[in-house]
Structure formats: structure tokens, C-alpha cells
Structure 1
Amino acid sequence: MNGATGGAGGSAARRLSAVSLPRAQWRLADERCELREEEMEYMRRFHRHNQGGNQCTSFVAKHVRAPLQTVWSLVRRFDQPQLFKPFVRKCVMQGKIETGCVREVTVQSGLPATRSIERLELLDDNEHILRVKFIGGDHMLKNYSSILSVHSEVIDGQQGTLVIESFVVDIPEGNNQDDICYFVENMLKCNLRTLADVSEEHLARSAARRLSAVSLPRAQWRLADERCELREEMEYMRRFHRHNQGGNQCTSFVAKYVRDPLQTARVTVQSGLPATRSIERLELLDDNEHILRVKFIGGDHMLKNYSSILSVHSEVIDGQPGTLVIESFVVDIPEGNNQDDICYFIENMLKCNLRTLADMSEERLSSS
């Protein structure tokens, strides 16, 4: 796969030499979901679903900069889906990992479900195929069946992996095909992004043990981009992220480093979770300090008295202009939940949003 896919004709590409181009643009190619003709052969061979009359089917794909065996070692753990599924709280297995075994998955508070009972239909360690069917639970995904396949590929001369996950599911009453596909696709994209992060972190840690101290930072740059703990940047929190926290409220934050100058960063919010609408009021839009403050004032969601502050700050990443994005929030703790539940749920939603923000910002930079 060529790391220059998507923006070779843009101004950023013209400023970069051929040797540096793949490094500057590889994330765009990694994120693309459309499959090339030779990759569609995997769909024809391994992703066959018996689609009924009131069902829909779709797929997502992810290119991972880690060898197949690293990725497959995580995917095949049917007993531990929480390894790369951020909304899974715990998993209880019935029996050992083999065809026909069943797991009960408890999901994080905030999703439109509390548990899912799932059966392993196929685990093929030769072809690297995992097939799962939902057979119970209180979720909306009736007759849901998924196929996940893992395939070796080469990315910029290094071992990489293509992960494809397809599904078929009933269309719930009151919804249409676009609604349910959009919801499931976004959940799967979040899972596969986490799978990529965990796989690449495993690879980087392994490489770190073999690399000298001088080469270690370059091997681990994606880990640094993903870190949420702030160092001297905590001054931004003290200056811009002050919330009036009530007695039955919780507050937290997430952060994301974006390889793009501050001026091109934009926020894109995606829907599809346990709500149909949200009424939100803009509390502050400061184009000088780059602060956005929003308060939820209505809707059918669970985030009562939710208020967020998003701040955007210039910084330098590997000698190039970059951006630090911090988003903090305060929200009521819903009845029947605790602080950890609601904070975990919101933090993972915000992390997915900020990853998408990084992808879109870096794509805009490469194509401008």
C-alpha cells in the first residue's frame, strides 16, 4: 500500500520530498474504508451473509501498522473483547474458546443496552476469520451476525495488516437501513481504531526493547500522540477548563495531539448512540484563545446538565506545526450509575470524536 494515497497532488505533498511523503500521510491511507479491487476478493471469499428481507448489511475496514500475528492475537481472544472494544465493561465465558462457546458481555452504562449474549460461530486460525452471532441480551441488534477477517499486507515496506469486519442485522421498527448501518458502522470503526492503537502499541513496546534511546521517540510517536496525561500543558486546564461541579456530578477530560497546524482543526460530532436528538447551546466561542464551550439544554439523552469546554493549542510535533486539543466536561451522575461508569462512557465517546478530528484535520492538511 502506498502511504501517499489521497493527496499527492496537494500543496503539502509538493512541499515534501519523496522520502518524507509516506510518513506525513500514512494515517490517511490507514483510515480509508473503501477497498481496492484485489482487497474486495477478501469480501467475496470470507464475508458472505444470508441477508433477509428486513435486514441490512455493511462493512468497515482498517489498515494497521502491525504484523498479522500481533493483530490476530487480540482478535481471537473471544473471552476478552475488552482488549480492543472500549465500551465493553466485562465478559463472562461459558466454556473454553471453541466453536459454539458462548460469552455474556456487559457494556458500559450509556449505550442502548446493558448486556449481550454472543456465540462463537467460527474461529479459524489458518484463514484468520472470527464469526460471532448475537443470541440474546437487551440490545437493539436483533439477529446480528458479524464476520471479522485479518489479512497480511505491506505498508511502506513494513509488515502490516488489513482488518475487515462485516455484519448483517435486522432493521428495528421505526428505523431505516441508513440509521442502523450508520450506528453499527461507527461502533465498529471505534473498535477497529482501538484495535489498531493497541496492536501498534504492542509493536512499539517490542521495538523499544531493541532500539537505542536515541531512536526510541520516533518508534513511539503514535503513543505520544495518543497520551491523555498532560505535562506542562496542565496550565491550559487551569486557565480554560474550569467547571462548577455540583454534589452529584462528575468531571474529567481527554486530550489529543493532532499533526496539523491549529488553524485547520475543526470539530465534527457524530450521532447514533443512545439518543435521537440533543438541543445544545453555544456558551462561548473565542477565536482568539480558541475556546469552544457548549451546554446541553434538552433532548432525549442521558447527559443531564452536561457542559463541555474544548480548547485548541499550538505546539510542535517532530519539528512540525501541530495542535493539542483538550476537551473537558461536567455532567450529572445518572441514577443507578456511579462516577466511574459515566466518566468512562463519556471519555471513550470524546476519544473517538478527537480521533476523527485528527484524521479529518490531517487529511485536510495533506490535500490543501
Structure 2
Amino acid sequence: MSETTTTPTLPKWSLAVPPAAVLVLALSWGRDLGTILLVLVCLGVAGAVVGAVHHAEVVAHRVGEPFGTLILAVAVTVIEVALIVTLMASSEEGKAASLARDTVFAAIMITCNGIVGLALLVGSLRHRVQEFRAHASSGALGVIAALVTLSLVVPAFTTSSPGPTFSGVQLAFAGVVSLVLYGTFVFVQTIRHRDYFLPKNSTTDEDHADAPTNRTAYTSLGLLLVCLVAVVGLAKTVSPTLEAGVDAIGAPVSFVGVVIALLVLAPETAAAVRAALRDRLQVSLNLALGSALASIGLTIPAIAIASIFLTGPLVLGLDPKELVLLALTMVVSTLTLVQGRATLLQGVLHLTLFSSFVFLAIMP
């Protein structure tokens, strides 16, 4: 990658927001959140999300698609895994048995219905009909269907261990399969058939702008990681307040995982919406489906390794209600992605499924 001298430097606000968010995290870590701290934490999350989106776009512009969206998806998932393991280690025995399952399932529903639906909605409102590469997106969905079935559906029917769990050997097998499938997808996306995942069209001149310099790209990459750490750390900080709120409305404890997943995936949501507004729906789908793949493909192997050191059962099998929602999501997503074109109807349909997931998570 050659250096360019005409590229403007990073805006001052994008340099100031990440350390400010980390400062808020340091001030609030391990403390009870009063009104002032709670407001600061909320502002810190919002600022970190905006900063993450900006720096991810800088990196994406430098390395090109689909590497840029892959960087954001993997970075978010790695930190998400760290958060899951931390919460499992710090929770009471048995209370966090289903935390990994709930978080991964929430990530699938958020990405495949929430992010995809929102991108389709805002994109179709501005551009009426949006086109994308069906062979790329439908291929990604196929890998998601295989991974989620092997990791979250099959454990509900196995008999080697009691309950919706895997035995040690089964969990190791699921972890290896997840890594193989995810690694194969990344190879196809970034090397073998990279052109399949490039935007089909664009209505802006952004693609023709000078790429940022290597120094700017590396700076943005570092600040992107700082922003992601801040988002996840602040989400963990605010989780006791969320638990109190969840108890107040009578929702199950698992809903806390849904809220935290929403916070963690906020940078990708914002980036996907901005791409859809620029008539770059393929980038939005790369972000959403790539995040879903990374969430399963990296989380399950990491949890399998972490379970060696953690006590208590690891519940992975989904309940019947979640199985129905998952099956409906896969069917609707297939019908959406095989066409290569999307309108307002598909956006509303996916957002309806996402709203049903959130509603049933609160009122099971």
C-alpha cells in the first residue's frame, strides 16, 4: 500500500473521544452508578460507538472491502468473548450457565434481523430498490445456518450429557467445526472470491477519494480497538443497573444479555446503516452476516476452552421458543438474500422479527 499525501488528517473529535470514553470507564469501574455517573456512562457509550464507526470506516477505506468490515466484526467478537468469559467467571455458580448461549443467540437475532432489517429499511427509503450480490450473502447465510444448528440446536437433542448440553468431546468437536467453517468463509471472502463481497454499486464519490496513509490507518485501528474496549467495558459497568431495571419490569435475567449484546453491536449497526444510506447494501450485509459468523465461529471455540477452567454446566441448547424464532429467521433471511434485490417490504419484515424477539425476551 503506497502512501498518499493529499489525505486529510483525522478529525480532532475522533482523537479525543476514545480516551474520554476510557476515562469514563476508569471513573465508573467497580462503583455504584449514581445519576451523574450513569449519564456519563451513557454519553461514553454513545461517543465510543460513533468513534468506532468512524475509525472502522477509515481502516476499511485503507485496506478496501471486504477486509474493513471483517476487521470490525472480528474485533467486536473478540471483546464480546472476553466479556462473556468475565461474566461467567464472576457470576454465581449455575447463574451464568446459559450466558454464552443467550449472548450468541441474541447476536444472531440482532445481526440477521435487527441490523439487516434496519439497513434494508433506511436504504430502501432513500434508494427505493437496493441491489447486492446474492451468491455472496446467501453463502454466508448457509454457513450461519450450519454453525448455529451445530452449536445451539443439536445440544438440545444430544443424550451423552444431561440437559441441553454437550459432553466434553462433543463440545471440542463443535469448537473445531466452528473454527473450520469460519476460517473457510474468511478465506473465501478475503482471498479466493473477494470480488463476490464487494459493493455492487454506489451513489457517492467516496470510493474515489484518496485512501488514508498507513500512519492514519494504523492510528485509526488502534483507536478502533480502544473504542470497542470502552463500549464493552461500559456495558459491563452499567449491567448491574440494567439488572435492577430488568427486575423492576419483571423480565427474565437473560434479557440483560440482550441489552448488552445491543450495546456491543452498536458500532456495526451504525456502520451498516451509513453504508445502506450510501447505496452500499453489500457492505451492510457483510457487516451483519460477518458479525453473526464471527459471533458463533469464534465464541464457541473460546467458550469450549474456557469451560476447562470454569465450574458448573454450560447450557447451549435453545428452548423451543428460540428454536421457532431461529427457524423463522433462517427461512425469511433465505428468501431475502436469494433475490439479490431488496425493498421496503424486506426491511419491515426483518424488523418485525427482531421486535418479536425483543418482546418475547421481555415477556417469555
TM > 0.5: no
Higher radius of gyration, 1 or 2: 1
Using CA pairs under 8 Å that are at least 6 residues apart, name the structure with larger relative contact order, 1 or 2.
2
TM-score (norm 2): 0.31
TM-score (norm 1): 0.30
Higher helix share: 2
Higher strand share: 1
